Amino acid sequence: MKKRNKVVIGLIAVIIIGIIGIWGVGTTGYLTVSEVASDPQYIGTEVQVKGIVKEGTLQVNLTSTSFVLTDRSADINVEYTGEKPVNLAGGKDVVVIGTLVSNEKIVARKIVMGCPSKYVGG
């Protein structure tokens, strides 16, 4: 392959990567607790809500886990059926994926621990 062709292919690749990078900025799909707690448009829909497990609210039994998710401006109750996710504790950052049944409650189908940016699209 000629040097010129390699340069053109490399330039096209850089442009494509740049476009994808710019397009992806700000499109994680995560909502804040404040957004879902104050906007009825999300009720009955699946949401991905990023927040912190509020200290002292975690309740775990054999088949379910519940806690309050906060962004320090608003709170929302989370109910999750299944085994408690590893490392779930008060003060931890989480992303809750599930159905918003009211502006005060999410029925979660998945809880993602740790740095949520690793799980974009999750």
Homologous superfamily (CATH) for 29-116: Nucleic acid-binding proteins (2.40.50.140)
Helices vs strands, H then E, count in the chain: 2, 7
Percent share of the chain, pLDDT over 70: 83
Mean pLDDT of the chain: 84
Domain boundaries, the chain: 29-116
**pLDDT tens-place string over residues 32-41:** 999 999 999 9
pLDDT at 19: 65
3-state secondary structure of 11: helix
pLDDT at 104: 94
Percent share of the chain, pLDDT over 90: 58
CA–CA separation, 40 and 48 (whole Å) = 15
**pLDDT tens-place string over residues 48-84:** 999 999 999 999 988 899 999 999 999 999 999 988 8
- Of 94, 90, 69, nearest to 79 by C-alpha is 69
Reply yes or no on whether the pLDDT at 117 is more than 80: no
